Amino acid sequence: MALPLSSSGSGGLFKLSKKSSQRTLTPSSAAEYLASLKAADDDALAREQARSHSPTPARDVVHASAVNYAPSIASTPALSFASTAPSSLSSPTTYAATLEEDDDPLVYPDNPPTSNDPPPSALHSEFGYCNNEEYRYTSSYRDGTSLFPQHQDPPMTILLATYISYLFLIAIGHMRDFFGKRFWPGYYKHLMSAAGYAALNSDFDSFYTRRLKLRIEDCFARPVTGVPGRTILMYNRVSPDFNVSFKLTGQLTRALNVSSYNYLGFAQATGGVADAAEESIRRYGLSALGPRLEAGTQDLHTAAEALVARFLGVEDAAVISMGFATNSTTLPALVSRGCLVLSDEYNHASIRTGVRLSGASVRLFKHNDMASLEQILRESISQGQPRTHRPWKKILVVVEGLYSMEGTFVDLPALMTLKKRYKFYLYVDEAHSIGAIGPHGRGVCDYFGIDPTEVDILMGTFTKSFGAAGGYIAGKKVLIDKLRTINHAFAYAEAVSPPVLTQLTAAMASIMGVAPPLLTPVGAINTQSTALIPYSHPGPAPAAILPSWMHLPPALLSGVEGNTRLRRLAFNSRYLSQGLRKLGFIIYGHRDSPIVPLLIYNPGKMPVFSRLMLAANTYPGAVPFVVVIVAYPATPLITSRVRFCMSASHTKADVDRLLRACDRVGDLLDLKHGCPKHERWTVDEVIDRAVELVHMD
Amino acid sequence: MATAVNSTGVLPDTTPALEPILHYVSASLSYVYHSFLSIPGSSIVIRYVRSSYQNDPFRTVLEVILLLFALRTIFQSRTRADRSTKNYVQLSESEIDELVDDWIPEPLVTPLTPAEQAQLNALPIISGAAGPKPKLASTGKTVLNLASYNFAGLANNEHIKEQAVGALRKYGVGSCGPPGFYGTIDVHMQLEQDLANFLGTESAIIYSQAFSTASSVIPAFCKRGDIIVADRGVSFAIQKGIQISRSIVRWYDHNDLDSLEEVLIGVEKEMKKKRAPLTRRFIVTEGIFENDGQMVDLPKLIELKEKFKYRLLLDESISFGSVGRTGRGLTELYNVPATHIDMLLGSMATGLNAAGGFCAGSRVVTEHQRINGTSFVYSASMPALLAVGASEAIGVLRDNPGCLRELVENVRVVRGVLDRLECIEVPSHPASPLIHIYVRSGPSQGSTLEVPTLAARKGGKSKTTSLEPAEPVTFDIETEERLLQDVVDEALAQGVLISRVKRLRGQEASEPRPSIKLAVSAGLTRKEVEKAAGIIRAALLKVLGRRR
């Protein structure tokens, strides 16, 4: 698989929309078209042959080395940290991208294991080695903690500067459009009606994208390679034309990854979970070949569903091949015209899509504000449907467990009280919270100690904590069985792919731990049998649910590894959140949240923050970080922010580095407007008193 | 002002108390005025305001009202109720409490009907790999599979599997992020490039689920006020995309391009009459229809689209990877350059036996979706190993045209058996590897080879704004579904896995006719296909033959 990234074809790969669509081939006749396809075929064949003759074909090398080094980890752990996988990435000439990391601090542990320590179970670049039991914490709700978002307000000067910045950007953008349309009409061709066709995207609609987002385009959609684990390999790129197009330079940068949704660190190409996934590719191939309701149901699907139900402590669950689609295809199946959906104002786009498709009425309530919700509930129930005053058929309250831009947990205890009084149905989207919070990683219910069966519909995704893809819907058996017949995805969308199912099954089982095999081994588990398993929360996974061919290493089977990951994540999350607060930053969200948003406000500071973090020259010994910056329309206009996603794969030293880098960049960009100066700590103090900080309220 | 309006009796009492306040107000006003004057250029502003407001109290009043209105709009709560309307009933708190106590919601879902329960129970569960000859979990028997999408027979291809394992060992499984935030892996870019090269378009964009592709691409381009002219028989995914786009929709008769032309002429007239500004206009249809296997006449369609200056959105979810010499789809079958199709949608889950969907087109089209395609932007990108699987599948298709020749041969075998049966109707195109089977209703009319809707359009014209055709075919859903399920069960008992098409009754735009779906595969040999077709024929005859 030759990647022409920086070869002759590289220019085309990243050219952006500015050029007219007619730029390349529009063959006038079918014959020409076929001739061009033939040429493409021949070209591909030639490349194929060249590849098979060359001594080191790209993927084979990767594969071969993976096979070689997997056992070597087990035997000589301390020696196998640096070499293998990265070196195989840099060697094949087809990739052309190179990585020089002989002395990269990111691939060696800061405190390497001694001969007394248990050997590390993973590659340090994927999952950091951290053996210090002090750096652990258990994520659970402490009574009296307020869940209502308490946002610190920045000084007025910052707000004012932010508004002025936007005004400037918009004014300059309009000026550029005004002159551009007159002097360089070629650049605006695709935004104007032409030859009887209206523009696909008018200049007005695309103004924000062209004139604001394009300025900081280099901070988005950065191409990466390898595992999105503790570190990530990023392709360096340059733009010759002010971010309209990008060229890969052929260099890779290894950066600390505080951006991927890899909460429990299961994004790994090595280890027991990946071994199981490989086995499943060999046994099952890549696809279930169709929708679930036709012939796309495999034993793996029913096993995964039984395990998910068991994991959550509910009767039944259904898995769907895409997280977004889990919401957008389930909500229309649940509610329809005459129903009311009360949705948190910061709910995800997939929920909004689903509600729009359903035809139900929607009202938004203020983010996590239970008073606002109650007021709307009282009003809607008493007033009934608009005009006719007929009572609503059903009211569905849709919330997220952990809000991905805010880092706030839903106020579930208060919500349950409201639920008893107002008899609405509750839909909790646990896309980010499942696996990531709670003493046993079972999401918000676990975190607050609420029986999950009291929530009507639990939804979640496997993309985040489990390093897989897709989503689930869980609840009562009656509900899930019905959803299997009326959910769009079950009838029409492809079923979850076998390796993805295996990844999530193995990851989930290793969080639960696996109970010793039952005396009577059961073959294929039918979904019906899940109802018979008595509810015990949190219980280990019965071995009978797992595919018989899946052999997990003892550390995963016992649940020790899963438990360590949960506690490491909780420590890292709390440490970063508390640490940044102590340094004086304005941080949103709950302290136990693995999502830590750092407020930046000013649009001009966003790209600078992102670039400085990547540049790794803010202090001696700094390492590059890839960070996510988010602005309008994902957030309100003024509260632009950086969003850090913590992971169990980070070590304390990684968080220390992040704090140091933020400290420097924060001083440079004047971002510290949080806690008053006298309460602040220096960065050294924060790092030294990390454990104390984490246990502080 | 306010005090002056009050009755004179009150005024003397309040004046002494107010005096210091008024004094203070006037003092601060004059201070503000003087400090404003000290700003350079302020005199110009004052002069302008004075001259424009002179002798025009009406304008002042109007502007004050406008300002108040603007402020009211700004400060109004977003979750505002219609309190202001006449319809709002003022209730006391205790009344609200009572109403809350009285309100009994409907159950969240109705329990399964016996038919639905039976459908779930009858669901085949495959033990081990899905493919041309899978093993069923219930009986442990190996069956011939004509239910799974495996047109080119790429399932369980050892080469693809090896490459996928290599990708797993390099990238892990999940991408752990949306494409905008470090979820753009090099293999995704490679796959997009491969798809574009394969189809001959300028570029392509991949989505992580095929079903969500159409319902994301359509609203990315079609906004409120735009015009969509769509086929009445489009798949569920497209229906949802059209629904969410909120565009103006006009329907034309299923796979009837004459009807399309009439609708296009109608829309043109309508727009002329309304003197509507030029809006984006789209024709939305499928290559091979998922709902019945008919095939669109692509050259004619392109001719119409270019004549009326519409953009064409063609969903090739079924035809990509299954028709044409190397599986490039309808464009290859009809020798039409893919660049003539503005948005070419396809499924990598169906056509390449991997996962996800794609949209190929010009760079403007694909780049637009990178910001506006909801399920692209807000969803994690597809697992790297599946992207590699798709890329490798393209390579296999390109290098082995033989597998599609086998598919054509197998389709011919199945059609040869089915077309001779009296008790069924086959609406699908003879070249389509997806074959639908209807129960023939009433006495036989015409030959089965004829595309039925063309014949159906002999009567009056159908209304373009409604989904209902002029002369809807009537059928008894319940009976037909039961009969077809009997056929499926019978065939399974004889060792052939086929599937009744599962519909979302009550959620579809118009209820499609119950059918059995055969997905012919190149993974089976000619002998096996002959055997399977024979068994299906026997099952059909056994169940449907005894009906009359």
For residue A57, the model assigns a pLDDT of 37
Pairwise CB contact (< 8 Å): B386 & A497: yes
Pairwise CB contact (< 8 Å): A494 & B209: yes
User: Which residues of B are less than 8 Å from A323 in CB distance?
Assistant: 379-380
Has residue A349 got a pLDDT over 70? yes
- Residues paired with residue A642 on neighbouring β-strands, in sequence order: A598, A629
DSSP 8-class letter at A209: I
Has residue B449 got a pLDDT over 70? no
DSSP 8-class letter at A529: G
Q: How far is A536 from chain B (nearest CA, A)?
A: 25
Q: Does A262 touch chain B (CB under 8 A)?
A: yes
For residue A409, the model assigns a pLDDT of 94
* Of B503 and B40, more confident: B503
| CATH assignment of A288-523, among 3.40.50.920, 3.30.1180.10, 3.40.640.10, 2.40.50.100 | 3.40.640.10
At B71, the pLDDT band (50, 70, 90 cuts) reads confident
Pairwise CB contact (< 8 Å): B375 & A324: yes
At A30, the pLDDT band (50, 70, 90 cuts) reads low
Strand A425-429 to strand A457-461: parallel, antiparallel, or no bridges (unpaired)?
A: parallel
Contacts 24+ apart (CB under 8 A), B246-254: B246/B219, B247/B222, B247/B223, B247/B282, B249/B465, B250/B464, B250/B465, B251/B462, B251/B464, B251/B465, B251/B466, B251/B467, B252/B464, B253/B453, B253/B456, B253/B457, B253/B462, B253/B469, B253/B470, B254/B289, B254/B292, B254/B294, B254/B453, B254/B469
At A204, the pLDDT band (50, 70, 90 cuts) reads confident
For residue A48, the model assigns a pLDDT of 59
Interface test with B, best of A3, A286, A405, A502 (most B CBs within 10 A): A286
All residues at 6 or more sequence positions from B379 whose CB lies less than 8 Å from its CB, including other chains: A322, A323, A324, A325, A350, B178, B207, B208, B209, B212
Pairwise CB contact (< 8 Å): A298 & B116: no
* Spatial separation of the C-alpha atoms in residues B212 and B200, rounded to whole Å: 24
For residue A97, the model assigns a pLDDT of 64
For residue B83, the model assigns a pLDDT of 59
For residues A315-326, average pLDDT: 95
For residues A593-604, average pLDDT: 94
Beta strands in A403-501 (DSSP E): 425-429, 457-461, 471-475
Has residue A63 got a pLDDT over 90? no
- Residues paired with residue A253 on neighbouring β-strands, in sequence order: A234
Name the one residue in this structure whose structure tokens are 């009150």: B10
User: What backbone phi and psi angles, to 5 degrees, belong to A629?
Assistant: -110, 140
A474-496 pLDDT, tens digit each: 999 999 999 999 999 999 999 99
User: Which residues of A are less than 8 Å from B116 in CB distance?
Assistant: 481-482, 485
At A31, the pLDDT band (50, 70, 90 cuts) reads low
pTM score, two decimals?
0.85
Pairwise CB contact (< 8 Å): B212 & A325: yes
For residue A523, the model assigns a pLDDT of 43
At A144, the pLDDT band (50, 70, 90 cuts) reads confident
For residue A95, the model assigns a pLDDT of 41
Has residue A85 got a pLDDT over 50? no
Say which of B131, B149, B185 has its CB closest to residue A285.
Answer: B131
For residue A378, the model assigns a pLDDT of 93
Say which of A66, A356, A482 has its CB closest to residue B112.
Answer: A482
For residue A47, the model assigns a pLDDT of 63
**Consecutive H or E run containing A345:** none
Q: Which of A224-228, A375-379, B9-13 has the lowest mean pLDDT?
A: B9-13
**Consecutive H or E run containing B158:** helix B158-171
Interface test with A, best of B87, B176, B352, B502 (most A CBs within 10 A): B176
Has residue B438 got a pLDDT over 50? yes
* Of B86 and A593, more confident: A593
Has residue A317 got a pLDDT over 60? yes
Q: Which of A145-154, A182-191, A520-529, B240-249 has the lowest mean pLDDT?
A: A520-529
* Of B469 and B7, more confident: B469
For residue B22, the model assigns a pLDDT of 87
Has residue B453 got a pLDDT over 50? no
Q: Does A395 touch chain B (CB under 8 A)?
A: yes
Has residue A363 got a pLDDT over 90? yes
- What residues 110-149 of chain A have any CB closer than 8 A to a CB of chain B? 126
Has residue B3 got a pLDDT over 90? no
| Neighbouring C-alpha atoms within 13 Å toward the C-beta of B452 | 20
B230-287 pLDDT, tens digit each: 999 999 999 999 999 989 999 999 999 999 999 999 999 999 999 888 899 999 999 9
At B82, the pLDDT band (50, 70, 90 cuts) reads low
For residues B84-91, average pLDDT: 75
Q: Would you state the structure tokens that stand for residue A481, as one six-digit string?
A: 């069985």
At A533, the pLDDT band (50, 70, 90 cuts) reads very low
For residue A99, the model assigns a pLDDT of 65
Q: Which of A535-539, A583-587, A669-673 has the lowest mean pLDDT?
A: A535-539
Has residue B4 got a pLDDT over 70? no
For residue A103, the model assigns a pLDDT of 64
User: Structural domains in chain B?
Assistant: 114-154+402-441+463-545 (3.90.1150.10), 158-400 (3.40.640.10)
> Which amino acid is it at A384?
G
Pairwise CB contact (< 8 Å): A298 & B126: yes
Taking CB atoms and an 8 Å cut-off, how many pairs form between chains A and B?
474
Strand B126-127 to strand B135-136: parallel, antiparallel, or no bridges (unpaired)?
A: antiparallel
For residues B299-308, average pLDDT: 95
At B78, the pLDDT band (50, 70, 90 cuts) reads low
SS3 assignment for B184-247: CEHHHHHHHHHHHHHHCCCEEEEECCCHHHHHHHHHHHCCCCCEEEEECCCCHHHHHHHHHHCC
Say which of A287, A423, A499 has its CB closest to residue B353.
Answer: A287
For residues B137-155, average pLDDT: 92
Complete DSSP assignment for B476-506 = -HHHHHHHHHHHHHHHHHTTEE-EEPP--TT
For residue A96, the model assigns a pLDDT of 52
For residue B430, the model assigns a pLDDT of 94
Hey, where are the domains in chain A?
22-125, 288-523
DSSP 8-class letter at B183: I
Has residue B206 got a pLDDT over 60? yes
- What residues 15-54 of chain A have any CB closer than 8 A to a CB of chain B? 15-17, 19-27, 30-34, 36-37, 40-41, 44-45, 48
Pairwise CB contact (< 8 Å): B111 & A41: no
